[in-house]
Chains A and B, each alone.
Chain A
Amino acid sequence: MSVRRLAEEQPASFEFTPENMVWVKAQIAKYPEGRQASAVIPLLWQAQKQNQYWLPKPAIEKVAELLDMPYIRVLEIATFYTMFNLEPVGRYFIQMCGTTPCMLRGSDEIKAVLQRRVGEQRKVSADGNFAWLEVECLGACCNAPMVQINDDYYEDLTPENFEKLLDDLAAGRPVSIGSQTGRRSSEPAGKLTTLVSLYGEDGLSGPASAKTTA
């Protein structure tokens, strides 16, 4: 962690889109009169999503005005939580998990790919597509190594499938979220190893794979 400041270059203004404004109003309505400030984190989050995953100064001020809070109170929150990006992060913001399970499963190679293709951490790539950051555990250890790109997790990465993923994203081709090796959720990479007396007809779990003879 380091000192967090607002970006040097800021857009002139920020407005929630009409759809987001409806969503924002619904969030504010969750809290009693006079307690609108409770909605500050959801609002900042939505503002960040709307603005290519970073929070510009006008957005912070807009949220403060919507919630009738002093600007400094909202700035405190935006600078406290590191998941609020205060600088542009490209079209795709890659958060790469480097914590022990991912590291043991090869996150260093993923990191090498990022360093080669995107460059330094926290710097937007020359084409404006990517920026990346090594983060602590994102809680998908069974499918390590993994990254989060914008809102979605991409798991079971290898340097090869990760490069392809980046290529596809850059080219705007459709990608599948979750495991990149075709594994279903976080089931064993091979085939089912527990509850095999009940499930695993096709090597998978769940009602669809229930053994009829059981």
Chain B
Amino acid sequence: MTKIIVDGKEVDVPAEYTLLQACEEAGAEIPRFCFHERLSIAGNCRMCLVELKGAPKPVASCAWSVKDCRPGPNGEPPVVVTKSPTVKKARNGVMEFLLINHPLDCPICDQGGECDLQDQAMAFGVDSSRYAENKRAVEDKYIGPLVRTSMNRCIHCTRCVRFTAEVAGTADMGAIGRGEDMEITTYLETAMSSELQGNVADLCPVGALLPKPYAFKARPWELGKTESIDVMDALGSAIRVDIRGREVMRILPRVNESVNEEWISDKTRQIVDGLKNQRLDRPYIRKDGRLQPASWGDAFAAIAARVKATTPARIGALAGDLASVEDMFALKVLMDNLGAKSIDCRQDGTKLHPSLGRASYLFNPTIAGIEEADAILIVGSNPRKESPVLNARIRKRWRMGGVQIALVGERTDLTYDYQYLGAGAETLAELASGKGFADVLAKAQRPMVIVGQGALMRADGLSILATAAKLARPAADWNGLAVMHTAAARVGGLDLGLVPGEGGLDARAMTRPGALDVLFNLGADEIDIAPGAFVVYQGTHGDRGAHRADVILPGATYTEKSGLYVNTEGRVQYADRANFAPGEAREDWAILRALSDVLGAKLPFDSLSALRKALYAAHPHFGRVDAIEAGALSFGAQNADLQPGAFTNAVQDFYLTNPIARASAVMAECSALAKGRLQQAAE
């Protein structure tokens, strides 16, 4: 630790801190544009100038470290001044230069109201311009369907360039030309290829890069802001849902160091139009082969008639990937009340089972723990598509150095180097016998084995899981077995025990022809249901599930209900309601509650708080929001008979993994672009 005096206040900071960090430690506010905590230091905007005693000129505090400061003549700590007239004048000057070529178009700029340049010009700038010459004009660039450019406004902080090169790992953007002619662009205006590209619009301190789908839609001050949790993948990124009236206008990331830092994937951010398109806003009943609008009462009556005509053994329930814990709990209680044993939350057919212990289906090392791992083996997963933000964390670990990464499965560009071991179970069997990379894992202090659903969906999924667990060497202080989920609801569902009871059927069996008479489908759209059963689809979008339905009960999306979600590492997170479901659609737990009354299997709760009370009583860990309940791992004598065959990744098209994303035109465009890139690469 090193002592330093900032504005007369002595602080003790680590020697490797920059002056900017030291000043913040001392409570001094330093304006900045190019500096960003999670990116490398560029030092090119000069806005963070401070006065350093002994230095001939003001110094850029973001690029000057505490250990570079000289002590005073008698060994006094170095002195930094942030409030002197020199500093004020320096900031004035820098701001004047930055504004020389910046257009005065704040009234028509989407960044207006939440613009760093606007705010800092107010706080540190001068009130008038002395610049009478022509302003520089820069052509706007096409950089993809998600980010709109207005390059006249660019102040060349290069945050976007550093983000794509460092965090996203795709090196899409760059600065061409030099001096006044410097321009930020992608290579010959191709679309960015990263799944995290939307973040560059957040990083841009001015209005040069803006979210394209949100262009000219709203002003920041007219938006209602709600803290929520993303359900597009199993990471559970912290998000903020901005609404105007009943409409979701945009989704932005929140900082959660242990989950998403401050990034979110493009799917998380830009499915906003998917929340409005193809919505189910009233109940439907299939009559004469066609779905026809109906009232809630008629829909419930139709269901009741079918349920009463059958036996509990011929009733089943499926829970989808976007369901909240409350929804699934209500479904489970309803099924219990009806006496039905066939219930499953694993529509993709994964072999994970709660009976093996909670640690058998969690990302045990935790997301933040990736940064501590020193050997990583990825089995049957493409983290870049299954959870781009988690992949960015692996890349962050790789950039720190001292880690070996290997992959068994489909060969692909993960944005970092890895050793490719092989395509499937044969390679895993070889590793299990101690060959090759197994040696690296065995020597590692903190080995980590990431197992994707692609490997666990196979018939020998449990053997693969057991083999992975063996390689990960779970110990008391570090469990390296990391199960990578793709569905936001999955861990919650497994925690609740949404798996078939004794004699019950699993998801695959339930959807076979003639397996059931009545099937409750709570938003499971990724599975084909054979003809025969009477399907009650409770969901939000006119997607695959709705097409197969006999009765549709319109539910609420994740922004329209308050709910708990458990992410892939087992972290319970709370998402608040931002807006209301359209039309006659209702929150899902309430639909199930109302339905249960008609079915004569009344659920014992009349409000969401009563439901939660019952939920916490049955599963106390759901009450501990933002905590990870430690899990046990109780593999019995799992047979480790691996069947040969290559692994196929669970997520093939990143942009279209769920009904909300499939309803989004923006996601469809992204998906088409990604397919084109893939084709181009193949040629």
Contacts and interface: CB of A to CB of B under 8 A. Distances in A.
Interface of A: 1-4, 6, 57, 70-73, 75-76, 79-80
Given A70-B171, A72-B171, A73-B171, A3 B177 contact: yes
Given A76-B174, A76-B176, 20 more contacts: A1-B179, A2-B181, A3-B181, A3-B183, A4-B177, A4-B181, A6-B188, A57-B188, A70-B170, A70-B171, A70-B187, A71-B187, A71-B188, A72-B173, A72-B174, A72-B185, A72-B186, A73-B174, A79-B176, A80-B176
Shortest Cβ-Cβ A-B pairs, 3 listed: A72-B174, A70-B171, A79-B176
27 contacts: A1-B178, A1-B179, A1-B180, A2-B181, A3-B177, A3-B181, A3-B183, A4-B176, A4-B181, A6-B188, A70-B170, A70-B171, A70-B172, A70-B174, A70-B187, A71-B188, A72-B171, A72-B173, A72-B187, A73-B171, A73-B174, A75-B174, A76-B176, A79-B176, A79-B178, A80-B176, A80-B177
Interface in B174-207: 174-181, 183, 185-188
Contacts of B185: 72
Interface in B552-581: none
A179 B290 CA distance: 93
A3 B187 CA distance: 15
B414 to A, nearest CB: 16
A79 B183 CA distance: 10
Nearest to B417: A34
Nearest to B179: A1
Contacts of A6: 188
Chain B interface, >50% SS class: mixed
B178 A75 contact: no
Interface size class of B (residues with CB under 8 A): 10 to 19
A73 B171 CA distance: 8
Contacts of A4: 176-177, 181
A186 to B, nearest CB: 32
Contacts of B170: 70
Contacts of A1: 178-181
Contacts of B183: 3
Contacts of B180: 1
A83 B153 CA distance: 29
A1 B176 CA distance: 13
A57 B172 CA distance: 17
Nearest to A80: B178
Contacts of B175: 76
Contacts of A3: 177, 181, 183
Nearest to A79: B176
A72 B164 CA distance: 12
Which of B170, B178, B179 has most A Cβ within 10 Å? B178
A1 to B, nearest CB: 6
A49 to B, nearest CB: 22
Contacts of A57: 188
Which of A57, A73, A76 has most B Cβ within 10 Å? A76
A75 B175 CA distance: 9
Interface in B620-653: none
A4 B173 CA distance: 17
Which of A3, A57, A75 has most B Cβ within 10 Å? A3
Nearest to A76: B174
B177 A79 contact: yes
A76 B174 CA distance: 7
A101 to B, nearest CB: 25
A84 to B, nearest CB: 12
Contacts of A70: 170-172, 174, 187
Given A3-B183, A6-B188, A72 B172 contact: yes
Contacts of A79: 176-178
A158 B314 CA distance: 103
A23 B180 CA distance: 35
Contacts of B187: 70-72, 75
Nearest to B186: A72
Which of B172, B179, B181 has most A Cβ within 10 Å? B181
